[in-house]
Chains A and B, each alone.
Chain A
Amino acid sequence: MNCTRLAQVLDAYLDSELDRATGEEIAQHLAHCPACTGLRSGRDALKQRLRSQAPYFVAPAALGPAVHRSLTAALDGTARRMRRPSWVQAGALATVAAVVSALAGYWLAQPLPDATLREQVVASHVAALNDVRKLTAITSVDQHVVKPWFQGKIDFAPVVRDLSAEGYALVGARLDHVANRQAVAVVYRVRNHFINLFIWRAAADAPEALAVSSVRGFGVATWAGGGLRFGAASDIDTRELEHFARLVQAQQS
């Protein structure tokens, strides 16, 4: 690997589009070549700038329904019948709900293994995104509005920081649950992605180092400190989620 070749493939490297062997060659070259490291930092700075400042145009609210109407009109003139759930389906659903709540009671009594915890953080994240209107109970980009909102609702004082200078815009917050424990969820937005940052009371006071992993395509970061547990979930790149988690960690101390 020489400098000319590196300049040709640097973008593909930074975009994780190269095979591992080539990637390692590049990493080795970068480790001892100041000129190429300079190229790399230029790209990093550009990425950071685009990430925090390039506008993302969200479709106007009326466009989705308008498209739906024109597609419905384009249907083959078949009568569209609404299906109603049958009594059998309703019964089955009730049975499932009963089993789930019985299991939940059992789970509550157990300490949560890490894998389950991560899974639960993702489950809460997905459930929250299911209905974007309920994503935040208080919607504000101002941390001085979001934080006081928790007063009287929960028995701990979560840290809420605006991180928009780093590209993570504060959207708002709500009360939620992670694995049946009451948690606050602080919502951030980066480009077109949401990050749910869940905070809840830790069972033990022991701090826990940051762990980042991937669950069903979602990134999850978990850690604990100061008597609180933290779990962040999003569909952004896990490296980026780790960056976010470290920013949040830094703000707590």
Chain B
Amino acid sequence: MRDAATLIRFEATVLIHLDAAYNLARWLTHDELGAQDALQDACLRAFRFFDSLHGPSPKAWFMAVVRNACMDWLKNQNRRTPEDESDDAHGALAAAHASGAPKTPDSAAARAAEARWVRESIAALPREYREVVVLRELEELSYKEISAIVDVPIGTVMSRLARGRDLLQQKLLGSRTRMKS
């Protein structure tokens, strides 16, 4: 049964994470309207299955629903336009490469350019690395929660996170990272 009391409970336990959910949806879909559509869809799904809430935290449970809705949205997009989901990001990144990564942030413009470079570098990560990086670095979720959201073992979360950070570090700091073992 879905009554008004359930809706209040749902809003207090699940919908308080709307910003976090939207942030994830934006990073996954690379699209403002797409993220909103996916979220609307995710909220309805989550509300319908609110009774089966489980996992390490309500936030992780909701984020998993959101992630699935984003995947569905991406699938639909790909059916409509045969482009790869990350084409957009690749294009933007190539443009940023052409203009060169900014140096010392001595002005607001340089800082903005630096921030754009960070954004494009994350956006250009392959999805499986991008999502764990966003969930950890921006949402500060635990490995256990990330593992529940992405639906992979914790060991996989760990290795994807390490690989994703390696890639970002090479791009953003130009530094060598770990030796291949």
- For residue A77, give the distance in angstroms from its CB to the closest CB of chain B: 10
Residue A4, interface by CB 8 Å: yes
State the CA gap A11–B163 with chains docked (Å). 10
Residue A58, interface by CB 8 Å: yes
Of B27, B43, B136, B181, most buried by chain A (CB within 10 Å of CB) is: B43
Flag if B181 contacts A57 (CB, 8 Å): no
One of A39, A56, A57, A70 near B177 (C-beta < 8 A): A39
Majority-rule SS of B interface residues: helix
Q: Which residues of A contact B109 (CB under 8 A)?
A: none
Nearest-neighbor residue (CB-CB) of B177 within chain A: A42
Flag if B19 contacts A192 (CB, 8 Å): yes
Question: Interface readout for B32-54 with A: 1 if CB under 8 Å, 0 if not?
Answer: 00011001100110011000000
Chain B interface extent, by class: 35 or more
Flag if B2 contacts A76 (CB, 8 Å): yes
- For residue A218, give the distance in angstroms from its CB to the closest CB of chain B: 14
Flag if A67 contacts B39 (CB, 8 Å): yes
User: Considering only CB atoms and an 8 Å cut-off, how many residues of chain A contact the other chain?
Assistant: 44
Flag if A11 contacts B161 (CB, 8 Å): yes
One of A15, A60, A75, A80 near B136 (C-beta < 8 A): A15
One of B2, B36, B105, B137 near A60 (C-beta < 8 A): B36
- For residue B167, give the distance in angstroms from its CB to the closest CB of chain A: 10
Q: Which of A19-64 contact B (CB under 8 A)?
A: 39, 42-43, 45-47, 49-51, 53-60, 63-64
Residue B122, interface by CB 8 Å: yes
Q: Which residues of B contact A55 (CB under 8 A)?
A: 115, 118-119
Flag if B15 contacts A64 (CB, 8 Å): yes
One of A3, A7, A70, A76 near B3 (C-beta < 8 A): A76
Residue B18, interface by CB 8 Å: yes
State the CA gap A56–B119 with chains docked (Å). 10
Q: Which residues of A contact B19 (CB under 8 A)?
A: 58-59, 192
One of A45, A56, A72 near B23 (C-beta < 8 A): A56
Question: Interface readout for B123-166 with A: 1 if CB under 8 Å, 0 if not?
Answer: 00000000000001110101100000000000000100110010
Residue A177, interface by CB 8 Å: no
Instruction: State whether A54 and B143 are in contact (beta carbons under 8 Å apart), knowing that A11-B162, A43-B169, A192-B19 are contacts in the complex.
Output: no
One of B47, B165, B173 near A74 (C-beta < 8 A): B47
- Segment of B4-12, B69-77, B86-94 in the binding face: B4-12
Flag if A54 contacts B4 (CB, 8 Å): no
Residue A191, interface by CB 8 Å: yes
Residue A205, interface by CB 8 Å: no
Question: Interface readout for A64-103 with B: 1 if CB under 8 Å, 0 if not?
Answer: 1011101110111010110000000000000000000000
Instruction: State whether A57 and B114 are in contact (beta carbons under 8 Å apart), knowing that A17-B142, A46-B169, A71-B47 are contacts in the complex.
Output: no
> Can you list 28 A-B contacts (CB < 8 A)?
A3-B179, A7-B178, A7-B181, A15-B136, A17-B143, A43-B165, A46-B169, A50-B122, A50-B138, A53-B114, A53-B119, A54-B122, A54-B137, A54-B138, A55-B118, A57-B22, A57-B23, A59-B22, A60-B36, A66-B36, A66-B40, A68-B15, A71-B43, A74-B44, A74-B47, A78-B4, A192-B138, A237-B140
Q: B residues engaging A (CB < 8 A)?
A: 1-4, 7, 10-11, 15, 18-23, 26-27, 35-36, 39-40, 43-44, 47-48, 105, 114-115, 118-119, 122, 136-138, 140, 142-143, 158, 161-162, 165, 168-169, 172-173, 175, 177-179, 181
